[in-house]
Amino acid sequence: MQNTSHDPVGWHGTTILCVRTASGVAMAGDGQVSLGQTVVKGNARKVRRIGAGGAVLAGFAGATADAFTLLERLEAKLERFPNQLERACVELAKDWRTDRYLRRLEAMMAVADRDRSFTLTGNGDVLEPEDGVIAIGSGGNYALAAARALLTVDGLSSEEIARRAMRIAGDICVYTNYNVIVETIV
């Protein structure tokens, strides 16, 4: 994350990875939050279950307060459109893009249910991955590359791929630690 007018002190850190395989979907997030060169928290929970019965996995990167605002808004959309994750995401993205207050929020989200996975951005994007893998945050590209490579290994579950890829991201990215939370839907 870059320093911005909304983030003047230089908060960094987050790696969120979502992996979908025949065994199900797993979403993993590391626990590190850094301020400049200092780790200020090592056990942040950046992956959560939302929606009715916790049927949707959501992970966030960016400003925490902004991400929680978006999580609340997405939950409201899921209440309005139950069992329609794509519709709820599109409605949130429209609001995020057009609402003066929401437009200023600096966060990204990865969301998944039993059937679909999406990346949501403040640009109005609702992106579904071609290969079943989503990664966001400062260590996202490392986790994405590792997960894509691990998809070629026979017999690994989505959770095993997510855990191994997050370990690799933690080995490379100074803003990613090994305190990983994983939520799954099988």
- Of 14, 15, 21, 119, which residue is the catalytic one? 14
Could you give the count of Cα atoms lying within 13 Å of 21 in the half-sphere of its Cβ? 20
Cβ-count burial of 43 within 10 angstroms (0-12 exposed, 13-18 middle, 19+ buried)?
A: exposed
Helix (H, G, I), strand (E, B) or coil at 168: helix
**Active-site residue, 14 included:** yes
Cα 166 to Cα 49, 63, 78, 93, 161, distances in angstroms: 19, 21, 28, 27, 8
Residue type, 116: R
Residues labelled as active-site residues? 14
